[in-house]
Amino acid sequence: MLDELNDSLSIPFDKSREEVWETVRQKTENSPKPRTVILRKRRLMWAAAVMIILIGSGLVIRFFHYTVKSEAGQIAEFFLPDGSKVSLSPQSKVTYFPLWWVVERKLTLKGEAFFEVQKGKRFSVKSSRGITSVLGTSFDIYARPDNYRVICYTGRVKVETRKNKNEIILTPGDKAEINTHGEIVFSKDSNPKQYVSWLYNQYVFTSAPIQYVLDELSRRYNVTITSQHKIEGRYTGNFSANIPVEQALSLVCKPFGLTFVKKAPGHFEIE
């Protein structure tokens, strides 16, 4: 009875057992291998992660920067990664890239600084009006809104305007100024040390515009000096930067018949 029922439920199939197994084997061999795909995806992810880390590290090395500032009434001295020395006059700022320094010795300056550069690759100082480049020398750069001035003390210095790309080579005692039109004004100074007298807490001025002198006093003593009228004239004189601000103002104002009053703490007005 069971044999008859089984025969009635059988489905006709024209392939032998060997042929069926061969078909199954071929399909198994040709089926995708999920573990291999997973491993490949993991390798790609690791490679991408390593690439991101390398790119990120490269950007950090290239663009990580450090800034040194000197406050009003303060002179700041520091050394760059190659041993070059920088002295900042009051209210000045230098920014450089310490991790990239071995590749390129380049920095930016706002204010005034005296540089003693170690020999090596090109050393460049960028400011708003010009670029000063050297290999190993000492020089002073004054880079403020009212003027851009470079004095060479040792070695050779190249000064290039950022506006017109004009350039000049300076030797010891040479001075180059860049005016607002991007033009270089060259001169040979008979007393170049006067421009770095601030390094020794002294002020030496030779026929300097009085407004320039007052601005220097403002930065040195961290005070505000104003006037109700335009002050003109040129001042020649020298004095210690350690004397009281009232005494310094008196020395500057007296030759011009000017007086001053203290309007508030840290605020003086020229009359």
- Give 185: exposed, middle or buried? Use CB within 10 Å, 0-12, 13-18, 19+: exposed
56, pLDDT greater than 70: no
Whether the predicted pLDDT of 50 surpasses 80: no
pLDDT at residue 13 tops 50 = no
Share the mean pLDDT of the chain: 85
Query: Higher-confidence residue: 62 or 87?
Result: 87
Region 127-131 average pLDDT? 94
Q: Which long-range contacts (CB under 8 A, 24 or more apart) does 257-265 make?
A: 258/231, 260/225, 263/226
Mean pLDDT of all residues in 105-131: 95
pLDDT of residue 4: 46
User: Any idea which architecture 201-270 has in CATH?
Assistant: 3-Layer(bab) Sandwich (3.55)
pLDDT at 38: 62
Instruction: Check residue 228 and give its pLDDT.
Output: 85
Does 151 have pLDDT greater than 90?
A: yes
Query: Per-domain residue ranges for the chain?
Result: 66-192, 201-270
CATH of domain 66-192: 2.60.120.1440
pLDDT of residue 147: 92
Q: Is the pLDDT of residue 83 over 90?
A: yes
pTM: 0.76
pLDDT per residue as tens digits for the range 220-229: 999 999 998 8
The packing angle between helices 245-253 and 210-221, to 10°, is 180
